[in-house]
Amino acid sequence: MKTTLIIVLLSLVTIFSANTINSETKKERVIFIRPLGNVNPEYVSFVKSSIEDFYGFKCKVLSKVEVSDDILSKSKKRCDANKILTKFKTDSNIVLITERDICQKRGKVDEYGIIGLGFCPGKVCVISTCRIKNKVTKKSFFNRLKKVTLHEMGHNLGIPHCSNSDKCLMNDARGTVKTIDKENLFICDKCVKKIK
């Protein structure tokens, strides 16, 4: 009887230890959020909660970094989104948020204004509040900020622009915030299957 009890107890200890080791060795995806230049803390906090609520990832806010000359566009009036992604590319998942206007080269236009950009797939994206806050209510602004954030994170997860549904968050904005306003807070089934 004592021998059987000892064997059962040892088995339970072994099972408990194995589960503890497995849970400790699992890598939890952590998203680092870094303000680029002066960013309203309310915006940073909102981006953090948006990612945590929608994707379920743990987020940590890092200290801000200043906007430096090496990420500015040719005109020096905007930040070049591609330069930002290249400069801050790391092995960690990072979302940069800025209130500065951002741009990228598109066709013959050297400084095409954009709202966000992310590697697809990848670990870094940048979002700008500059083009989504003009002439809108605070509620509309935060709704746009959430959609842009989740969209760029979607690119990092390996989802390209969606051509299945104009309501999907991964729909291409096609140069207008009106497209973002029409989207719903969901990712369509076809896009979900592309997540890496």
Contact 44, 35 (CB under 8 A): yes
- pTM, 2 dp: 0.83
> Residue 74 pLDDT > 80, yes or no?
yes
> What is the side-by-side strand order in the sheet with 79-80?
79-80, 102-106, 109-114
Confidence of residue 2 (pLDDT cuts 50, 70, 90): very low
Domain spans of the chain? 28-192
Q: What is residue 173's predicted lDDT score, i.e. its pLDDT? A: 80
Confidence of residue 79 (pLDDT cuts 50, 70, 90): very high
Per-residue pLDDT reduced to its tens digit, 25-72: 235 889 999 999 999 999 999 999 999 999 999 999 999 999 999 999
Rg from Cα positions in the chain:
21
Which residue did the predictor score with more confidence, 190 or 196?
A: 190
> Residue 125 pLDDT > 60, yes or no?
yes
Per-residue pLDDT reduced to its tens digit, 136-161: 999 999 999 999 999 999 999 999 99
Q: What is residue 27's predicted lDDT score, i.e. its pLDDT? A: 55
- The values of phi and psi at residue 39, to 5°, are -130, 135
* Average pLDDT of span 121-139: 95
User: What is the CATH code for 28-192?
Assistant: 3.40.390.10
Q: What is residue 123's predicted lDDT score, i.e. its pLDDT? A: 97
- The values of phi and psi at residue 120, to 5°, are -135, 105
Average pLDDT across the chain, whole number: 87
Q: How far apart are the first and last CA of the chain?
A: 51
